[in-house]
């Protein structure tokens, strides 16, 4: 924020603390005021509101809400070779991978790419992966609070936690990066593997797209200028997901329909706790396709 905005912000803080509210209540009040007074020059930016809301909501979030589900966990059997483990790490773009015995319910630890590299340099590419297990994992309950887990992982220098059910079976996996992304949004690097976003034009006025599809790409492929639904000061928005969040001013729920005052509707087909994944876009001038929108909402 600018110096002027910062001054206004702290004046508001002092004003609310005069009411002897908690810090949480103060911030919630400020965010509500910002939502209702959109023309106020000292308002939070969209990014500031998103970060503050994420921090507030994190207090009540539990591990089962942010974990990668068991079906999507990338693990490696301890009797496999270091060479094959290295190939898997490269293919999946992971620097750490859980090592298990018989199944994912028998995790013995994690292997790091640095240890893999050391073995390969020494020519031990046929060594067993279990020789690399030197990093601890934490087993946590699905109901454990995310903030408690983040604090524990920071203090104990642990990067991976496994969520287990009442019988000891592994339900999911959480990395410290997952927890940080709950606050700041996606953290991507050059090794993150990302498939090309899908864009499907179902009819003249109905489009289904991955939320990371770029607005310019949609215009190029389908002739739809979605930027016209943005205000002039939102020219930094580049993706469908960013467009929807900007219009809604929050992260929508799955199945929710977000309506733009400028003639388009967005139905959220898929979303997780951090981001929109897939969206149906319908131009409102086609009454036939409004039925499609309603049918998909069932």
pLDDT digits (tens, 9 = 90+) for 20-77: 467 667 777 777 776 666 565 556 676 777 777 777 777 788 898 888 888 889 999 9
Kind plus residue range of the DSSP H or E element containing 280: strand 276-283
Q: Given 184, 216, 251, which residue is the final one in a domain?
A: 184
Lowest mean pLDDT segment, chosen from 71-75, 150-154, 164-168, 227-231: 227-231
Token code pair at residue 101: 């015995």
Query: Do 173 and 206 fall within a single domain?
Result: no
Shared domain for 248 and 179, answered yes or no, is no
CATH number of the domain to which 120 belongs: 3.10.580.10
Q: Which position has the higher pLDDT, 225 or 2?
A: 225
Same domain, 73 and 136: yes
Q: Is residue 113 part of a domain?
A: yes
- The confidence score (pLDDT) of residue 162 equals 94
In this predicted structure, what is the pLDDT of residue 87? Answer: 94
Based on the domain organization, do 68 and 179 belong to the same domain?
A: yes
**Sign of torsion over alpha carbons 23, 28, 29, 31:** positive
Question: 180 and 208 share a domain?
Answer: no
- Using a pLDDT cut of 70, give the percent of the chain over it: 78
Judge whether 245 lies within some domain: yes
- Is 16 found in the same domain as 109? no
Residues 176 and 203 in one domain: no
Note whether residue 288 is domain-resident. yes
Note whether 220 and 249 are same-domain residues: yes
Please tell me the distance from the alpha carbon of residue 105 to that of residue 113, in angstroms, as a whole number.
Answer: 23
**Model confidence, pTM:** 0.56
131 and 211 in one domain? no
Q: Quote the number of domains for the chain.
A: 3
For the chain, percent of residues with pLDDT exceeding 90: 27
**Residue numbers of the domain that contains 28:** 3-44
Tell me whether residue 57 is in a domain.
no
Residues in Cβ contact with 195 at an 8 Å cutoff, skipping those fewer than 6 apart:
none
The average confidence (pLDDT) of the chain is 80
pLDDT at residue 256 greater than cutoff 50: yes
Measured between alpha carbons, how far is 132 from 292 in angstroms, rounded to an integer?
53
Write the Ramachandran bin of 157: left for phi over 0, alpha for psi from -120 to 50, otherwise beta.
left
Residue 150 counted as domain residue: yes
- Are residues 234 and 166 part of one domain? no
Contact between 72 and 156 (Cβ < 8 Å)? no
246-257 as b/e, with b when 16 or more CB fall inside 10 Å? bbbeebbeeeee
Same domain, yes or no: 72 and 158: yes
176 and 206 housed in the same domain: no
- 54 in a structural domain: no
Q: What are phi and psi of 82, to 5 degrees?
A: -60, -35
Q: Sorting pLDDT into bands at 50, 70 and 90, what band is 145?
A: very high
Assign 3-class secondary structure to 230-260: CCHHHCCCCEHHHHHHHHHCCCCCCCCEEEE
Q: What is the pLDDT of residue 228?
A: 81
What separation in angstroms does the CA of 117 have from each of 55, 109, 120, 126, 261?
Answer: 37, 18, 5, 13, 55
Rounded Cα distance between 242 and 236, Å, is 9
């Amino acid at each position: 924020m600018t110096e002027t905005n910062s001054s206004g912000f702290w004046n508001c803080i002092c004003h609310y603390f005069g009411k002897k509210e908690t810090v949480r209540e103060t911030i919630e009040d400020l965010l509500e005021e910002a939502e209702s007074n959109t023309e106020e020059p000292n308002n939070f930016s969209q990014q500031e509101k998103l970060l503050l809301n994420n921090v507030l909501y994190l207090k009540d979030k539990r591990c089962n809400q942010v974990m990668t589900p068991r079906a999507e966990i990338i693990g490696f059997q301890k009797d496999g070779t270091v060479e094959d483990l290295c190939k898997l790490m490269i293919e999946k773009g992971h620097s750490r991978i859980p090592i298990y015995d018989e199944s994912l319910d028998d995790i013995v630890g994690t292997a790091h790419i640095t240890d893999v590299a050391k073995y390969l340099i020494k020519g031990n590419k046929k060594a067993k992966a279990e020789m690399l297990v030197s990093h601890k994992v934490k087993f946590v309950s699905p109901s454990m609070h995310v903030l408690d887990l983040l604090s524990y992982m920071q203090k104990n220098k642990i990067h991976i936690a496994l969520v287990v059910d009442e019988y000891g079976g592994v339900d999911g996996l959480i990395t410290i990066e997952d927890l940080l992304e709950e606050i700041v949004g996606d953290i991507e690097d050059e090794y993150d593997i990302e498939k090309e976003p899908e864009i499907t034009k179902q009819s003249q006025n109905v489009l289904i797209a991955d939320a990371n599809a770029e607005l310019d790409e949609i215009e190029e492929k389908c002739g739809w200028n979605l930027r016209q639904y943005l205000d002039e000061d939102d020219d930094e928005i580049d993706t469908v997901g960013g467009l929807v969040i900007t219009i809604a001013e929050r992260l929508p729920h799955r199945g929710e329909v977000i309506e733009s005052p400028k003639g388009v509707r967005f139905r959220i087909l898929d979303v997780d706790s951090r981001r929109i994944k897939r969206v149906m876009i319908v131009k409102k001038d086609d009454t036939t396709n409004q039925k499609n929108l309603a049918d998909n909402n069932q």
